[in-house]
């Protein structure tokens, strides 16, 4: 079947063979980490993979309408999937990094709330502009009723469009996406920070105090990089736009989880090898 | 930990800087026509509608501002290492970052518009001369505001991240907030002013953007003037609220409830914005009513 003849599949389209290859790759990468650094390196890699998976899963919740949303032709936020998720996740990472001294749990939760706050404010302002700036109510194009509020959607769609604005379920999805992204980004940062704090003084032959600013910077750069890798990877899985957890495209998340885990493992391994080899 | 009153003052200042930066970012992206609505500027000549709108989708706004703010912050950081004058360093860093933005804007306009030559769209040199400097001026305000707030966060509030990294983080967030909030207002309300108010643009109308002003042909300065009134202000408010509330909850409540105070306040803030959002949604449904009522009555 040619690419033109193939019908787009909104939901499933899970390829078990590719998933199996991905899981094998993941096990190989974990094995390499176990060989080169069985203790702290392996633990850091597991943390990075969990963080990457959280980001990849979280991006599916973020309601992104892209260019059609900018003309009120489709629901969602009028920007790119990866970039909006990155904005929320990095805002969370900022808060999480600040709370790093207070322990892993505190930092991850603080990062999660930071990402959720960014998305809550942004989603509210999107509806503010649609309603008070453009006189357009929110309407979903994918479901007849909002799964949370039960509000009917079809009659609030203006003629010739697929909907517009952010129905309540999309708002909630955005906040959940921000929470997961902020938590994932912060988890990656904390795991790499601990690794670098422990290993850098020996590698660079400096004191712990001298190594700390370098550890913070390198862990921060890798956390941002891993965030972008996972966000962009998931954007390919979503293919353009998604309304949130009620969108049929949301069902594609399993393959993004495997892809995010493999990509995070590969990138995380590089981040580990620079200090343990 | 810094003194709490000092922290609140810095938080207020960063919130104000973020508000100005957000408003300038959205106005810059609308004058330069960057972001998702630019798809229509690119599409219009292909549908037979020639125009004098600037066309510089260098990248999505978040990565573009991530680059420019990281560049400004990195250069400011380097200047501060040489000369102990943060204000001058931030200004110089922002100026150099804006020069890069200007180069990108120029090449983007020339490249993107030249690619439309087969559809008859001319490259207007006067547009290039008059618009580029205006986008650069707005970009300077946005970058300076963001780099300055990053310096306050790093220097005064003692955030562990170095200045260039903070520039990247808040630059990406600035672009995300500005494009999310400001794009619909430019894309629907200004580009499609010829369509009905209070409804989305029908997909069949894509590309038929408004090309004429009160006198003569519309250009991007007209678009910046229009969108600054609501889209720009809303973008500024959005980014200002994000920065202010993130810092405010940390500075004031970090020590409360055995360290969980900032988290609890964050959850409360999310709940408050959820309630406000729901109120706005219900208000719109009640006051604007369904579109298909008339159709149902006639059928």
Neighbours of B59 (CB within 10 A): 17
The reply to whether B248 and B269 lie within a common domain is: no
Range of the domain at A94: 39-276
**A91·B200 Cβ contact <8 A:** no
Are A171 and B277 an interchain contact pair (Cβ–Cβ within 8 Å)? yes
The tokens for B117 are 């030559």
C-alpha distance from residue A227 to each of A93, A122, A176, B175 (Å): 10, 19, 16, 16
| Residues B154, B46 share a domain | yes
Whole-model pTM: value is 0.92
- Specify the pLDDT at position B293: 59
Q: Which residues make Cβ contacts (< 8 Å) with residue B26, sequence separation at least 6?
A: B178, B179, B181, B182, B186, B227, B228, B231, B232, B234, B235, B236
d(CA A148, CA A152) in angstroms, rounded, equals: 11
Q: Does B160 touch chain A (CB under 8 A)?
A: yes
Q: Is residue A47 part of a domain?
A: yes
Is A86 within the bounds of a domain? yes
A113 touches chain B (CB under 8 A): yes
Residue A151 lies inside a defined structural domain of this protein: yes
- For an interface test with B, the pick among A59, A62, A71, A219 (most B C-beta atoms closer than 10 Å) comes out as A71
Same domain, B142 and B285: no
Among residues A41, A12, A275, A135, the alpha carbon closest in space to that of B291 is found at A135
Q: Flag if B162 and A72 touch (Cβ within 8 Å).
A: no
What pLDDT score does A54 carry? Answer: 94
The residue from B235, B254, B273 where one domain ends is: B254
User: What SS3 state is found at A209?
Assistant: helix
Top pLDDT among B215 and B141 is at B141
Is A110's Cβ below 8 Å from some Cβ in B?
A: yes
- Residue A123 CA to residue A144 CA, distance in Å, equals 21
Location of structure tokens 């980001």:
A55
The tally of CA atoms less than 13 A away on the side-chain side of residue B97 is: 34
> Same structural domain for residues B183 and B290?
no
Same domain? For B288 and B199 the reply is no
* Contact state of B246 with A95 under an 8 Å Cβ cutoff: yes
DSSP A139-202: B-SS-SB-TTT--B-GGGSPTTSS-BS--HHHHHHHHHHHHHHHHHHHHHHHHHHHHHHHHHHH
Of A106, A161, A216, the CB nearest to B202: A161
Please name the residues between 75 and 94 in chain A that touch chain B, using a CB distance below 8 Å. Answer: 77-80, 83-84, 86-88, 90-91, 93-94
As beta bridge partners, residue A64 has: A77, A242
Task: Determine the length of chain B.
Answer: 299
The token pair at A186 is 């912060």
Q: Is residue A235 part of a domain?
A: yes
CA distance B181 to chain A (A): 5
Interface A-B: count of C-beta contacts within 8 A: 291
A72 touches chain B (CB under 8 A): yes
Cβ-based neighbours of B274, under 8 Å, separated by 6 or more = A120, A124, A171, A172, A175
DSSP summary character for residue A8: P
Confidence class for position B294, pLDDT limits 50, 70, 90: very low
Shared domain for B80 and B219, answered yes or no, is: yes
Of A113, A168, A213, nearest to B266 by CB-CB distance is: A113
Note whether A102 and A196 are within 8 A (CB): no
What angle, rounded to 10 degrees, do the helices at A104-128 and B261-288 form?
Answer: 20
> What is the count of structural domains for chain B?
2
CB of B201 within 8 Å of a chain A CB? The answer is yes
DSSP 3-state assignment of A7? coil
CB A237 within 8 A of CB A14: no
**Please, are residues A57 and A235 in contact by the beta-carbon 8 Å criterion?**
no
The Cα-based distances of B155 to A94, B10, B86, B96, B141 in angstroms read 15, 10, 10, 22, 21
What is the arithmetic mean of pLDDT over B225-232?
A: 93
Same domain, B166 and B281: no
Window 132-191 of A, Cβ < 8 Å to B: 132-138, 149, 151, 154-168, 171-172, 175
Beta bridge partners of B219: B52
State whether B190 and B117 are in the same domain.
yes
Report the residue of B169, B250, B271 to disrupt the A interface, i.e. the one with the largest count of A CBs within 10 Å. B169
Predicted local distance difference test score (pLDDT) of residue A175: 95
Chain B partners of A217 at a C-beta cutoff of 8 Å?
Answer: 161-162, 165
pLDDT greater than 50 at residue B297: no
Phi, psi angles (nearest 5°) of residue A166: -125, 100
The interface predicted TM-score (ipTM) is 0.93
In a shared domain, residues B169 and B111: yes
B112 and B201 part of one domain = yes
Which pLDDT does position A90 carry in this prediction?
84
Q: What does the pLDDT look like over B190-216, one tens digit per residue?
A: 999 998 898 889 888 888 999 998 888
What CA–CA distance (Å, rounded) separates A168 from A164?
12
Please state, rounded to an integer, the average pLDDT across all residues of chain B: 91
- Shortest distance between the Cα of B91 and any Cα of chain A, in A, equals 24
Contacts of A68 in chain B (CB under 8 A): 203
- Specify the higher pLDDT residue, B276 or A3: B276
B180–A168: do the CB atoms touch at under 8 Å?
Answer: no
Whether residue B18 is found in the same domain as residue B98: yes
DSSP codes of every residue in chain B: ---HHHHHHHHHHHHHHHHHHHHHHHHHHHHTT-STTHHHHHHGGGGT---B------S-HHHHHHHHHHHHHHHHHHHHHHSS-HHHHHHHHHHHHHHHHHHHHHHHHHHHHHTTGGGTPPP-HHHHHHHHHHHHHHHHHHHHHHHHHHHIIIIIS--SS-HHHHHHHHHHHHHHHHHHHHHHIIIIIITTTTSPTTSPPPGGGTT----B-SSSB-BHHHHHHHHIIIIIHHHHHHHHHHHHHHHHHHHHHTTSGGGTHHHHHHHHHHHHHHHHHHHHHHHHHHHH--TTHHHHHH-
How many CB atoms are closer than 10 A to CB A3?
5
Asked if residue B188 and residue B282 are part of one domain, the reply reads no
Question: B203 with A86: CB under 8 angstroms?
Answer: no
Residue A101 three-state SS:
helix
Note the residue count of chain A: 277
Using a CB-CB distance cutoff of 8 angstroms, which residues of chain A are in contact with residue B274?
120, 124, 171-172, 175
Tell me if A6 is assigned to some domain. no
Other C-beta atoms within 10 Å of B82: how many? 8
Is residue A237, in this structure, part of any structural domain at all? yes
Residues of A in contact with B199 (CB under 8 A): 72, 136, 158-159, 161
B264-289 mean pLDDT: 95
Mean pLDDT per 10-residue segment, chain A (277 residues): 48 77 93 90 93 93 89 88 79 86 90 93 94 93 91 90 92 94 93 92 88 91 90 87 90 91 94 87
Mean pLDDT of all residues in B230-235: 94
Coil, helix or strand at residue A240 = coil
- Structural domains of chain A, count: 1
In a mutational test of the B interface, the residue from A63, A94, A132, A185 whose CB has the highest number of chain B CBs within 10 Å is A94
Weakest mean pLDDT among A29-33, A176-180, B119-123, B290-294: B290-294
Cα gap A170→A172, rounded to integer Å: 5
When pLDDT is cut at 50, 70 and 90, the band that residue B4 belongs to is confident
Cα Rg of chain A (Å, integer)? 20
Q: What is the residue range of B271's domain?
A: 261-299
Beta carbons of B147 and B72 less than 8 angstroms apart: yes
pLDDT of res. A3: 46
* More reliable by pLDDT, B15 or B84: B15
């Amino acid at each position: 079947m040619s690419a033109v003849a193939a019908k787009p599949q909104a939901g499933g389209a899970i390829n078990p063979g590719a998933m199996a290859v991905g899981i094998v790759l993941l096990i190989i990468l974990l094995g390499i980490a176990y060989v080169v650094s069985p203790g702290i390196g392996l633990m850091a890699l597991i943390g990075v993979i969990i963080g990457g998976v959280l980001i990849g899963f979280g991006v599916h919740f973020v309601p992104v309408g892209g260019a059609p949303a900018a003309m009120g032709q489709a629901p969602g936020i009028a920007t790119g999937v990866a970039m909006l998720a990155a904005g929320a996740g990095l805002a969370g990472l900022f808060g999480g990094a600040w709370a790093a001294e207070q322990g892993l749990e505190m930092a991850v939760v603080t990062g999660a709330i930071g990402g959720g706050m960014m998305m809550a404010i942004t989603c509210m302002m999107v509806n503010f502009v649609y309603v008070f700036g453009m006189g357009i109510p929110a309407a979903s194009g994918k479901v007849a009723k909002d799964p949370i509020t039960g509000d009917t959607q079809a009659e609030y769609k203006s003629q010739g469009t697929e909907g517009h604005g952010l129905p309540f379920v999309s708002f909630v999805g955005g906040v959940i996406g921000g929470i997961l992204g902020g938590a994932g980004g912060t988890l990656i940062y904390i795991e790499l920070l601990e690794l670098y704090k422990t290993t850098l003084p020996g590698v660079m032959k400096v004191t712990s105090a001298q190594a700390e600013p370098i550890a913070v910077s390198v862990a921060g750069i890798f956390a941002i990089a891993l965030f972008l890798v996972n966000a962009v990877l998931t954007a390919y899985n979503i293919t353009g736009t998604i309304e949130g957890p009620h969108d049929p495209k949301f069902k594609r998340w399993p393959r993004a989880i495997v892809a995010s885990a493999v990509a995070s493992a590969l990138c995380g391994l590089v981040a580990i090898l620079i200090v343990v080899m | 930990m810094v003194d709490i009153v000092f922290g609140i003052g810095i938080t207020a200042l960063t919130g104000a800087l973020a508000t100005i930066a957000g408003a300038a970012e959205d106005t810059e992206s609308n004058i330069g026509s960057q972001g998702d609505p630019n798809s229509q500027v690119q599409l219009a000549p292909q549908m037979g509608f020639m125009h004098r709108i600037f066309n510089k989708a260098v990248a999505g706004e978040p990565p573009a501002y991530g680059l420019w703010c990281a560049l400004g912050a990195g250069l400011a950081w380097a200047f501060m290492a040489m000369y102990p004058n943060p204000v001058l360093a931030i200004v110089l860093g922002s100026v150099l970052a804006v020069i890069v933005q200007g180069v990108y804007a120029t090449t983007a306009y020339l490249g993107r518009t030249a690619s439309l030559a087969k559809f008859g769209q001319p490259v207007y040199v006067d547009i290039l001369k008059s618009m580029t400097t205006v986008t650069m001026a707005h970009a300077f305000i946005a970058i300076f505001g963001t780099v300055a707030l990053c310096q306050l966060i790093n220097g005064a509030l003692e955030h562990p991240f170095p200045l260039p990294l903070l520039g990247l983080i808040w630059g990406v967030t600035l672009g995300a907030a500005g494009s999310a909030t400001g794009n619909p207002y430019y894309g629907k309300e200004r580009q499609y002013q010829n369509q009905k108010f209070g409804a989305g643009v029908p997909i069949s109308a894509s590309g038929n953007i408004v090309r004429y002003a009160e006198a003569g042909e519309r250009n991007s300065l007209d678009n910046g003037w229009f969108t600054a009134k609501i889209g720009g202000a809303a973008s500024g408010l959005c980014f200002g609220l994000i920065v202010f509330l993130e810092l405010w909850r940390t500075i004031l409540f970090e020590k409360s409830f055995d360290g969980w105070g900032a988290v609890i306040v964050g959850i409360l803030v999310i709940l408050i914005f959820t309630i406000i959002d729901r109120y706005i949604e219900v208000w719109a449904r009640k006051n604007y009513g369904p579109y298909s009522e008339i159709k149902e009555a006639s059928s």
